[in-house]
Amino acid sequence: MSERPSYESAAARIEEIIKRLDSGEAGLRETLDLVREGRELVELCAAELEAVGRGLEELRLDELVARLEAGGRAPDRPG
């Protein structure tokens, strides 16, 4: 399974896709493939932006360390 692309690589790929589509040189099959890929990347970027847009979550390292030492684990944010 391929690695999940980073936000910036996804954004850059979206730019490439739109540039290719705007050129009008892509055939129907390529256009549909590019649009599908672009939509997936847009969803990925939207998810990344959503993850950093739910309100600032401030934690203290000493509390995290104490929690880990107590056998817990760092809380994960959904997304």
Partner 1 sequence: MSAARPIRPTGLEGSALKGPFPVGEYAAALRGRLRGLARVQVFGEVSNLGLRPKAVYFELCDLNGALPCSMWRSDYDRLGVELANGVQVVLGGGCDYYPGSATSSPSFTFRATALRVAGEGELLAQIERLRRKLDAEGLFAPQKALPRPALPRSLGIVTGERGKARDDVLAGLARRGWEGRLVWAFAPVQDRRAAPMIARALQDLVVAGDVEAIVVARGGGSVMDLMAFSDETLCRTVALLAVPVIASVGHHTDRTLIDDVAAVSCSTPTHAAETAVRVHCGEARTALTADARRLATCGRRAVVERARRLEDLTRAPAEHVARQRTWLHQMVRELRAAGRRGVQGRRSASATQLLVLSRRASAATADHRRAVAALPSVAGDLRRKRDAARTRSARDLERLRLALDAHDPERALERGYALVEDAAGELVVSAAAARSAGRVSVRFHDDRVTARIEAEG
**Would you tell me which residues interact with partner 1 (CB under 8 A)?**
6-8, 11, 14, 17-18, 21-22, 26, 28, 31-32, 34-35, 38-39, 42, 45-46, 48-49, 51-62, 64-65, 68, 74, 77, 79
Q: Which CB sits closer to partner 1, 1 or 5?
A: 5
Q: Least distance (Å) from partner 1 to the CB of residue 2? A: 16
Residue pointed to by tokens 């390529």: 30
Give the distance, in angstroms, between the CA of residue 41 and the centroid of all CA atoms in the same chain: 7
d(CA 58, CA 61): 10
d(CA 38, CA 4): 14
